[in-house]
Structure 1
Amino acid sequence: MQSQVLVRPSPQVLRALWLGFLAMAFAVAQVVAVQARGAPDSFADLAEKISPSVVNITTSTVVAQATDRRPQLPPGSPFDELFRDFMDRNNRGGNGDQAPRRGQALGSGFVISEDGFIVTNNHVIEGADDIEIEFFSGKRLKAKVVGTDPKTDLAVLKVESNEPLPFVQFGNSDAIRVGDWVMAMGNPLGQGFSVSAGIVSARGRSLQGTYDDYIQTDAAINRGNSGGPLFNMDGEVIGVNTAILSPNGGSIGIGFAMASNVVTKVVAQLRDFGETRRGWLGVRIQDVTPDIAEAMGLEKAAGALVTDVPDGPAKEAGMMANDVIVSFDGQDVRDTRELVRRVADADVGKAVRVVVLRDGKTQTLSVTLGRRETAEGEGQSAGSSQTPAAPQEETLLGMTLRVPTEQEREAAGLPTGTTGLLVVGIEVGSEADAKGLREGDVITEAGQQAVSTPADLTKRIAEARDAGRKSLLLLVRRGGDPRFVALSVN
């Protein structure tokens, strides 16, 4: 049997170990402090460096006046002639039309090239017939509009200068982290050049636009800051200040700047073409929710579910309704928002590989992208030569359904040759009611199969139950726009 011997270290050894531990703790504390990166002692050097590239923008527009502001008086009233004479003296020409006046608006922007290209918000210069740029030095120049993009609220202007202008570079907004320091510059409330600082509060915010990718910051942003730059600590533009969330019109620390990685693509196209040229896939899509994933037998709720494939690039490539797009041009697709942005960023005419899930298996399609701006506004023709049977109503899944008439098919915007069931009633408090189904909707598919009679839907419900599914996937059209809804069959 082996014995164990307890060795007691000497006081000198204990002291050396303790000093070593303290040294290690100090080193770790220094590393943590470096990683935390506290507030800089001053933002003065950064502000001094980038201020010459930031500009104030003043726009003016002719605003028509009201044609007649006389009070309504009874015919023949002794005051009628008095008011008419008074108003006519203040109107040009005495014909009841007041002289138009010029309205002014203020905003901000920043120079991106030494030859005078300037970035701002579209809403800053929209409708303006005169645009003046004021530089930090006090110099003023007239600007012309190179191109605008209302979808991202961006605009590119151009000034002519006899000498090179100071400008700033774009940074990588994807590299910014929540908690990083940022600086906003601009012309808040018409007060002239002003600097505010804060941190990144959130990323990937969406307001109302299709291509939204906003950085949220608590740096003070007010009216007049629109179009101005949001800088990182290296003096690079990582956002364009666009909007604030406020109950009173002033800054409460919730401001939004369009991320630079969106801005740079739009600005490049506006500079080169004077307009945007976004890729177009040619599908209608919706997110894959957990209940839709369960109804389709998918492993996870991810990807973009194709609800309709009108004439266009995707249809030519063989894409079909009910396909789930899981990869686009070599990158996984998490949801519809991500897919829309990636398609828009892709080059028009580019052949891309699109991976879809169809009937539980993956298929790879090669799609040559079209141009979204050309395709917008094009739609499918409605109507059909088929005549439905006599209406016969039946209640299923909390809905009263029947075959639609020809007029009802046209009103619902059904594509030619499409059959379906018209929703003529919704049970209040039912799951169908909770998920937004309404009278006038048309169900064209159930369980990824076409339905044309209530008996077809009854059969699909039975098949889902027999397969052990908790819900049934319905393709619903409203005003011609399709979407998928999963309803419980238990």
Structure 2
Amino acid sequence: MKLRQIVPVILVSAVTSFGSIWAYNKFVGKEVYSLKSDDNNHIPSNYAGFFDGVNGAPTDFTEAANSAIPATVHIKTKATRTASNNLPKRSPLFDLFGFDWDEGMAPRSLPQMASGSGAIISHDGYIVTNNHVVDGADEITVNLSDKKSYKAKLVASDPSSDLAVIKIEAKGLPFLLYGNSDDVKVGQWVLAVGYPLNLEATVTAGIVSAKSRTLDINRRQSRTPIESFIQTDAAVNPGNSGGPLINTAGQLIGINSAIASPTGSYAGYSFTIPVNVVKKIVADLMKFGTVQRAYLGINYAPDNLSEEVKKQEGIKDGEGVYVLDVTKDGAASASGIRKGDFITQINSVPVKSGADMVGQIATYRPGDKVKIGYRRDGRDYTSEVVLRNSSGTTDVVKTSVLDKLGADLANVDAKLAKEMGIKGGVIVKSIDNNGAFSKTRMEEGFVILKVNGREIASVDQFRTEMDKAGNSVTLDGMYPGYEGVFRYPMKIGE
């Protein structure tokens, strides 16, 4: 084809192309752009930066999975239970006379097996898992992904947060690196790793679907539950408990703890303890043997209050956590925070709910200084607060044998002592489902008078005798309204 024949073809093609682009921009382009703007071409604030390029996480998770699987363990436990403990509780009179036991109803020791998962956090064998995975276990076995098996011992546990640390005697182990759960965003990809349903190491993927969730499930094992879960839709089933949740960089961002399910198996949501809470509690358990729990010293309004209740209680609407009251001589009171304020920030981290606040405070110890942002009468303030322990001091709290009993104890008041004809004693006000007392036939209201035959008249004397007693203890006492002395032998456990 000659040049003079080619040139018209090129010109026609160019004109057609430019014409198509002009027509698209005029008639179609505006319509498309209007999907992300108003009539004035203003992009909504919630889309700020979105159209500049989405920083999406990689969809190939092989590297993250390969990093996490060797550091995720299968935990198997064995516990000996007494069959009679599952029978309905009886009147203390039956314990006194013992005539309601048939020959076929004698207590029997039955072994119970359970399993869960755990995350190795150090090369020398420290492993973090859920408290409910190892609670009450007489024997703990840890299996690695390479089929090696070890016996483990319990280092310490914290029922309030449902965390526990166990230890195996090994060196040079693979372990997970800590991430930062404050950086976790709703919508980001995450992986759950564990041993569900007694399967081999299993990895599931999902996204973070919510943060700062509370389920009140830890109340089953503690009177002071700590909950601020990361919610994901990564499939988690029985056996995943205690296993890691990781980001796409392979970093630990939480310990899987629970699922929301009407059937007991995965139904769409799982809940994870944030790694920032895990780091602090694990460090406390390894250093002190018990958690150094910090308190801000306020009572706050629950997040789910109805408008009717808010009106009745005089609770105002506003962003943050509404302060119902401040504890006398508490940290908040000393810093000037008072009833009616809204807590909005803790060390510059936004606080929008009670769960947000609990999750942030749980990462600090008594004596730590934090900056609390709060709003009062429409104005924002910042105050430096020195957090305190439950006793109102900044002292280190040492673990006590009383912590293992699972009971609320108090001194017998003078009126009750006179009615019972005793000089004093310790009354058992309530008994948790976990702890040494729950393994006996003891009832709430029992008044403890002797520990291993030595008389006690107060909680302080009771603590002193229990510290001397060791693992095996016999408690003697009475029930108000009943005659006779009741005896409860029990094992405190390690």
Normalised to the residue count of structure 2, the TM-score between the two structures is: 0.58
Q: Classify 1:16/1:53 alpha carbon distance in 2 versus 1 (closer, same or farther; 3 Å).
A: same
Distance 2:236 2:185 in 1: 19
What are the superposed Cα offsets for residues 117-169 of structure 1, whole Å, 9 maximum, x if unpaired? 101111000111211111111111111222222222111111111x3111111
Which among 160, 175, 180 is matched to residue 151 of structure 1? 160
Alignment of 1:103-118 (within 5 A): 103-118=112-127
Q: Classify 1:318/1:173 alpha carbon distance in 2 versus 1 (closer, same or farther; 3 Å).
A: closer
Alignment of 1:58-73 (within 5 A): 58-66=76-84
Contact residue 277 and residue 371 of structure 1 kept, 8 A = yes
Distance 1:324 1:201 in 2: 26
Distance 2:315 2:235 in 1: 48
**Secondary structure of the structure 2 residue equivalent to 1:199:** strand
Distance 2:342 2:189 in 1: 40
**Residue number in structure 2 paired with 1:273:** 288
Q: Classify 1:232/1:373 alpha carbon distance in 2 versus 1 (closer, same or farther; 3 Å).
A: farther
Alignment of 1:79-478 (within 5 A): 87=104, 97-161=106-170, 163-208=171-216, 211-286=226-301, 300-329=318-347, 333-354=351-372, 366-372=384-390
- Point out the more displaced range, 349-358 or 337-346: 349-358
1:145 counterpart letter in structure 2: L
- Report the alpha carbon displacement of residue 185 of structure 1 after superposing the two structures with TM: 1.8
**Secondary structure of the structure 1 residue equivalent to 2:261:** coil
Contact residue 57 and residue 189 of structure 2 kept, 8 A = no
**Residue number in structure 2 paired with 1:423:** none
**Secondary structure of the structure 1 residue equivalent to 2:136:** coil
Contact residue 222 and residue 251 of structure 1 kept, 8 A = yes
Distance 2:54 2:247 in 1: 17
Instruction: Number of aligned residue pairs: give it.
Output: 341
Q: Classify 1:358/1:276 alpha carbon distance in 2 versus 1 (closer, same or farther; 3 Å).
A: same
**Residue number in structure 1 paired with 2:46:** none
Answer with 1 or 2: which has the greater Rg: 1
Q: Classify 1:167/1:282 alpha carbon distance in 2 versus 1 (closer, same or farther; 3 Å).
A: same
Distance 1:268 1:54 in 2: 19
What are the superposed Cα offsets for residues 316-367 of structure 1, whole Å, 9 maximum, x if unpaired? 4455444444555555644433333333333311344546556777776554
Q: Classify 1:248/1:347 alpha carbon distance in 2 versus 1 (closer, same or farther; 3 Å).
A: closer
Distance 2:136 2:301 in 1: 35
**Secondary structure of the structure 1 residue equivalent to 2:362:** helix
**Secondary structure of the structure 1 residue equivalent to 2:84:** coil
- Report the alpha carbon displacement of residue 378 of structure 1 after superposing the two structures with TM: 11
What are the superposed Cα offsets for residues 53-105 of structure 1, whole Å, 9 maximum, x if unpaired? 11000111111123999xxxxxxxxxxxxx95xx5xxxxxxxx6354122111
Q: Classify 1:258/1:327 alpha carbon distance in 2 versus 1 (closer, same or farther; 3 Å).
A: closer
Contact residue 134 and residue 140 of structure 2 kept, 8 A = yes
**Residue number in structure 2 paired with 1:417:** none
Contact residue 322 and residue 340 of structure 2 kept, 8 A = no
What are the superposed Cα offsets for residues 380-407 of structure 1, whole Å, 9 maximum, x if unpaired? xxxxxxxxxxxxxxxxxxxxxxxxxxxx
2:276 counterpart letter in structure 1: N
**Secondary structure of the structure 1 residue equivalent to 2:147:** coil
1:164 counterpart letter in structure 2: G
Q: Classify 1:135/1:311 alpha carbon distance in 2 versus 1 (closer, same or farther; 3 Å).
A: same
Give the superposed CA RMSD. 4.3
Give the gaps of 5 or more residues in structure 2.
1-9, 26-49, 88-101, 219-224, 398-407, 411-494
Identity between Structure 1 and Structure 2 (%): 35
- Report the alpha carbon displacement of residue 222 of structure 1 after superposing the two structures with TM: 0.8
2:230 counterpart letter in structure 1: I
- Report the alpha carbon displacement of residue 250 of structure 1 after superposing the two structures with TM: 1.7
Contact residue 78 and residue 111 of structure 2 kept, 8 A = yes
What are the superposed Cα offsets for residues 284-331 of structure 1, whole Å, 9 maximum, x if unpaired? 222698896999897945443242433433344455444444555555
Of structures 1 and 2, the one scoring higher in RCO (CA 8 A, sep 6+) is 2
**Residue number in structure 2 paired with 1:449:** none
